[in-house]
Every structure is written in structure tokens, then in C-alpha cells.
Amino acid sequence: MGNLFIGREDIMRQLEELWLRGIQLQSVVIYGHRRMGKTSILLNAANSLDNQVKIVYVNLLKLGDVTQGVGEVLMAISDEISQVLNIEPPNDDDLLKLPERTFNRYFKDVIKNIKNLSGGLIIAIDEFEKIEDLIKAGKISPDFMGFLRSLVQAHSQVAFAFAGLHTLDEMTADYFHPFFGSVINIRVDFLRRGPTGQILANPAIEDFLLDYTPEALDKIYDLTYGQPYLVQLVGFHLVRLYNDFVFEQGRNRDPVFTVEDVEAIVKKPEFFQRGSNYFNGVWGQAGENHDHTQQIILTHLAKHTAGLTVNELIELTGINETDLHQALETLKRHDVIVENQGRWKIIVELFRRWVVKTHS
């Protein structure tokens, strides 16, 4: 499976079972904390599955501002399908005028094309929450997911893989109910300690001659909790530290990173600046729907490395117990906080430090 799937072997095995060994292709939701590698799983799954299944990757964030309705969304999907299957996409004007009818006609050609495939076709929709945004903004019809579901019901060789921060049942039920009960949720979790060390010691760089002390690897895990993006960010800054010391300053140093090196790079402002998309993303998700309850909780938890009890949080925040429990459960579900022996704390130490720096 290569370096891309270190620590994700269980997910790839599950996809293999769902997409190669069943009578009918199974639709899935690949969900989890921000920057966990969900996109990499989608982009590289076809190679891992020996290309027996064709995977069409559609990133809905690339749609931008949809002004022409559902035809634009179907255009993005059909363009990617056509590229993977090497067939002609439908005419743009036809899609914009009669979107669903035009796409259904086009999809008949798609089905003919995949009849000879041993596996079938997976349409991978990344950042699927954009669908709800478009529906709420009145850009596409509330029954759009019903239309997608009809494609799967009619053809056993077609399935969807939705990737995002949420499961479907966390979304607005009316919009997503056509897929309820027919998708399997696959959670992309934090990497464990062992795979985290493997990724750092064996990056996708030829002739990587640098190494880490065991204590440094432990320190990186303690700071990142195996969050893949942050693990790679730490590795990147350590390599930069080494290159600056040896090549820019012309000084000698041991090619083995230590705990001191790790602490040095995470204390620099540029580390948090470079990771700002991740940190702001987690913070922004905690403030969705203009409700700042979760963010208030995080600012207090960030100041207490040993964590806080529910009673302590009620006293510090002034939030009533019902709202507090609801906010804590949401943050827990999104892998931001964890409860241990009655005390709640932020999971990722680097995120805790960022909250202290920027929101205290």
C-alpha cells in the first residue's frame, strides 16, 4: 500500500470488502476530524484496489459560487466521470437547461461503459457538506440527494463515497434522508503512535537521511496526537531547521532530531502561521451556526492542561448544564476534546497551545 496508507490499512481493507467482494457496490461516508487524510484515501483508493473499481473524484469546493443551479453541480460530476471513463461529457447548455434529464441520458452511456468492468464505478464526493450549503442558499433543489440515490438504486455497479467532517445523520435530515440506512460510515481517526513514527522516519522523499531519537518521536506524538497534517507540519519544520543550520549557516550537526529540536520549532510563530488553516478550521467548526458555546468551552479548557469537570465548566463559563453537555458531546464527536475520569480536555496539544495564543 505504500507510505500513503501507513496507519490506514484497516480503512483500505474495509473499502476492499465493500467494493470488491460484495454482490452490489456499497455507498459509504468517510468522515472525521479536519485534515485527517480523507482526500488522500479517496484519491489513492483506486490504485490500492488494483484499479478493479473506477473511482471518480469530485471536490465540491472547486465549484465556487454556483449561479446556474444544479446543472453546474452535475457538470462538475459528469466532467470527472468522462475523464476517468474516457467518454464524451454532455453538452453544457443542455445540462444547464434540462439538468436531470440530460444527466440521466448521459448516465445510460456511463452504465454501458462500465458493464465490462469487474468492479464498477464509485463517485467520490469530497467536502459533501457543500450540498447542504447550496440547498440552504436556494441554489439547488432540496431533493438533490434523492436524485443521486436514484442513480444507485437503478444500477448495482454504481455507488457513492461521501467525504467530510460529518456523518449524514449530523446533517439536515430532510436533505439527506434518501441515503439514510443505505450508507456505511467509515471513521478516519487519529494515527496511532507506531504509524506516526513510521511516517516521520519514512517520508515520501527519496534518500531521506535524517532520523529521530525515540524521545523526539514520542514528543511529536504527544504534541499532535497523531493528527496527520500536524505530524507532517512538524516534520517539514524540522527538516527546514536542519537545512538552515547545515546548508545556510554552513555548520555541522548530528542528522538526528531531538526533543529540543521539536520544542524549538513549535515555539516559533511561523509554525502556527503555516498551520493556521488547520487551527482556524477546527476553531471555525466549533463556532458553526453563530453559536459560540463550544468556542467558550475551548478557551477555558485550553488554560487547564489537566482538564476540567462539568461542574468547573459550568462555574467558569456560566453555560447551563443542558447546553454544556450538548456542546461537549459535539466537540467530542468531532475529535476536539476527550473525557477521562470525569475531566474534559483538548485532545491535540498543539491546538490547545494555539487557542491559548490566539483566543485567551
What pLDDT band is residue 172 in, cutting at 50, 70 and 90?
confident
DSSP alpha helices (H): ranges in 267-346?
A: 269-274, 276-286, 293-302, 310-317, 321-333
Q: What average pLDDT does the structure give for the chain?
A: 92
Smallest CA-to-CA distance from 126 within 42, 47, 187 is with: 42
- For residue 138, the model assigns a pLDDT of 93
Q: Is the pLDDT of residue 205 over 70?
A: no
- For residue 206, the model assigns a pLDDT of 62
- For residue 2, the model assigns a pLDDT of 44
Quote the CA–CA distance of 355 and 278 in Å, as a whole number.
12
What value does the mean pLDDT take over residues 270-288? Answer: 95
Strands 120-126 and 27-31: unpaired
pLDDT in tens, 258-277: 999 999 999 999 999 999 99
pTM for the structure as a whole: 0.88
Do the Cβ atoms of 151 and 107 come closer than 8 Å?
yes
Quote the CA–CA distance of 178 and 155 in Å, as a whole number.
16
Quote the CA–CA distance of 103 and 300 in Å, as a whole number.
51
Quote the CA–CA distance of 259 and 219 in Å, as a whole number.
6
Residues in a beta bridge with 344: 308, 339
What value does the mean pLDDT take over residues 26-35? Answer: 93
Pairwise pLDDT comparison (102 vs 4), residue with the higher score: 102
pLDDT in tens, 292-311: 999 999 999 999 999 999 99
Q: Is the pLDDT of residue 332 over 50?
A: yes
Quote the CA–CA distance of 292 and 344 in Å, as a whole number.
18
Q: Is the pLDDT of residue 66 over 70?
A: yes
What value does the mean pLDDT take over residues 305-325? Answer: 97
Quote the CA–CA distance of 115 and 290 in Å, as a whole number.
48
pLDDT in tens, 227-249: 999 999 999 999 999 999 888 78
- For residue 202, the model assigns a pLDDT of 78
- For residue 209, the model assigns a pLDDT of 83
Pick the CATH number of 3-187 from 3.40.50.300, 3.40.50.1010, 3.40.640.10, 2.130.10.10: 3.40.50.300
How many Cα neighbours within 13 Å face the side chain of 240?
14
Q: What angle do CA 95, 144, 46 make, to 5 degrees?
A: 80
What value does the mean pLDDT take over residues 66-84? Answer: 95
Q: What angle do CA 118, 121, 126 make, to 5 degrees?
A: 145
Q: Is the pLDDT of residue 140 over 90?
A: yes
Q: Is the pLDDT of residue 50 over 80?
A: no
What value does the mean pLDDT take over residues 35-48? Answer: 87
- For residue 207, the model assigns a pLDDT of 66
Kindly list the domain boundaries of the chain, sorted by start residue: 3-187, 193-274, 282-359
- For residue 1, the model assigns a pLDDT of 38
Do the Cβ atoms of 31 and 38 come closer than 8 Å?
yes
What value does the mean pLDDT take over residues 33-53? Answer: 85
Q: What is the CATH code of the structural domain delimited by 282-359?
A: 1.10.10.10
Do the Cβ atoms of 155 and 22 come closer than 8 Å?
no
Q: What angle do CA 41, 6, 62 make, to 5 degrees?
A: 25
Contacts of 294 (CB under 8 A, 6+ apart): 286, 287, 327, 330, 331, 336
- For residue 204, the model assigns a pLDDT of 65
Which amino acid type is present at position 130? K
* 3-state SS assignment for residue 356: helix
Tally the residues of the chain. Answer: 360
Q: Is the pLDDT of residue 118 over 70?
A: yes
- For residue 215, the model assigns a pLDDT of 98
Quote the CA–CA distance of 181 and 162 in Å, as a whole number.
14
Quote the CA–CA distance of 265 and 27 in Å, as a whole number.
42
Quote the CA–CA distance of 73 and 302 in Å, as a whole number.
40
